[in-house]
């Protein structure tokens, strides 16, 4: 048994690789550059280039499980279902897909991959995390460090920001569970917080005032298009943020225990551990 981890150097894949390795489970990392940190083996793999789909199976003929990470939007998603079908012919029995809290089966490209796993009759799990805690150190890093601002269209709505380490733990469990889960799971952090409350935690950690700028959904859409996201996807993304203001994430957090994985790591812990990056 070998587990193929796509999304090579990504936020959850890199943690998952360490978690599986620590449990003595064989893994292979798929990344565009074909590189992974020691001691992991890696192969060149690109969702946009189906000629690379065979590389993992040439490198290791015992791959039987795959962790699927693909950008929420973008041309890559169109190739994933073909890879799933191909991987099945190579002996893969189980797929674990990283999707998102507000994306149900059949909805948007990621939801179409989710639906394909259901329709294929394979062993599967779909992880639907809410917003990552790590976004404050990635997409929001420059704004916080250089302008002392976070921003969103979530107004005062609350959500259970989740650590990528907890998502990796959910992926570990979904990949190794016997029997296979064969369902989707919402993935949350342990507590509901608004962006204002996170800004207050950041302020206390860095010793200066960090402000949460409350944008309208339309303003957020314009910000995302200014980053180069096509208009259609910018609209979907800003709309998802707007739904936080409408308590949608709070309602999702309150689903029954069998429908969710609730991680242990708090936003406060994440901020304390990583505070240096926001100090200018
Ligand atoms: N961020 C959030 O708050 C959030 C919330 C819910 C759901 N999600 C979902 O989580 C998923 C990943 O999140 P992320 O955007 O933060 O990315 P990420 O996991 O940090 O990175 C994705 C990785 O995919 C690999 N990759 C990129 N293009 C590729 C290609 N063409 N072929 C093969 N591999 C490729 C890259 O690794 P290499 O450079 O090694 O190839 C990259 O590091 C997305 O589907 C997103 O919708 C995110």
The pLDDT of residue 9 is 82
- How many domains does the chain contain in total? 2
Tokens 């690789």 locate to 17
Q: Report whether the peptide linkage leading into residue 39 is cis, meaning its omega lies within 30 degrees of zero.
A: yes
In a domain, residue 34? The reply is yes
* C-alpha torsion sign, points 69, 70, 76, 79: positive
What CATH number is attached to the domain comprising 229?
3.90.25.10
Is residue 8 in contact with ligand 1, taking CB distance under 6 Å? yes
CA 204 / ligand 1 centre spacing (Å): 30
CA 71 / ligand 1 centre spacing (Å): 5
In a domain, residue 174? The reply is no
In a domain, residue 81? The reply is yes
Indicate the residue among 80, 110, 129 that finishes a domain: 129
Q: Are 108 and 153 found together in one domain?
A: no
pLDDT digit string, tens, across residues 91-142: 999 999 999 999 999 998 999 999 999 999 999 999 999 999 999 999 999 9
What CATH number is attached to the domain comprising 87?
3.40.50.720
pLDDT digit string, tens, across residues 145-160: 999 999 999 999 999 9
The pLDDT of residue 163 is 98
In a domain, residue 182? The reply is no
Q: Are 279 and 201 found together in one domain?
A: yes
Q: Are 229 and 95 found together in one domain?
A: no
As a whole number of angstroms, the distance between CA 119 and CA 279 comes to 49
pLDDT digit string, tens, across residues 12-30: 999 999 999 999 999 999 9
Q: Which domain holds residue 73?
A: 2-129
pLDDT digit string, tens, across residues 193-237: 999 999 999 999 999 999 999 999 999 999 999 999 999 999 999
CA 208 / ligand 1 centre spacing (Å): 32
**Mutation to probe ligand 1, out of 28, 70, 76, 161 (largest number of atoms < 8 A from CB):** 70
Q: Are 15 and 46 found together in one domain?
A: yes
Q: Are 77 and 142 found together in one domain?
A: no
Of the chain, the percentage scoring pLDDT greater than 90 comes to 95
Is residue 109 in contact with ligand 1, taking CB distance under 6 Å? no
In a domain, residue 228? The reply is yes
């Amino acid at each position: 048994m070998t587990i193929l981890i796509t999304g090579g150097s990504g936020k959850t894949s890199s943690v998952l690789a360490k978690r599986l390795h620590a449990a003595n489970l064989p893994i292979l990392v798929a990344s565009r550059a074909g590189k992974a940190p020691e001691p992991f083996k890696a192969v060149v793999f690109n969702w946009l280039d189906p000629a690379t789909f065979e590389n993992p199976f040439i490198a290791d003929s015992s791959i039987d499980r795959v962790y699927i990470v693909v950008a929420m939007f973008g041309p890559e998603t169109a190739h994933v279902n073909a890879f799933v079908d191909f991987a099945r012919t190579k002996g893969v029995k189980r797929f674990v897909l990283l999707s998102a809290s507000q994306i149900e089966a059949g909805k948007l490209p990621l939801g179409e991959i989710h639906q394909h796993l259901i329709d294929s009759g394979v062993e599967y799990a779909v992880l639907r995390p809410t917003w990552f805690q790590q976004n404050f150190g990635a997409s929001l890093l420059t704004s916080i460090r250089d302008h002392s601002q976070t921003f969103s269209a979530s107004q005062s709505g609350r959500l259970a920001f989740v650590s990528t380490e907890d998502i990796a733990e959910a992926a570990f469990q979904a990949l190794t569970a016997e029997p296979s889960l064969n369902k989707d799971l919402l993935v949350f952090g342990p507590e509901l917080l608004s962006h204002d409350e996170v800004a207050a935690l950041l302020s206390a950690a860095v010793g200066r005032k960090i402000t949460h700028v409350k944008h309208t959904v339309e303003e957020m859409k314009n910000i995302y298009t200014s980053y180069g996201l096509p208009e259609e996807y910018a609209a979907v993304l800003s709309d998802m943020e707007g739904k936080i203001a409408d308590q949608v994430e709070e309602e999702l957090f309150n689903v029954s225990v069998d429908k969710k994985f609730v991680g242990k790591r708090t936003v406060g812990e994440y901020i304390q551990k990583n505070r240096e990056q926001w100090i200018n």
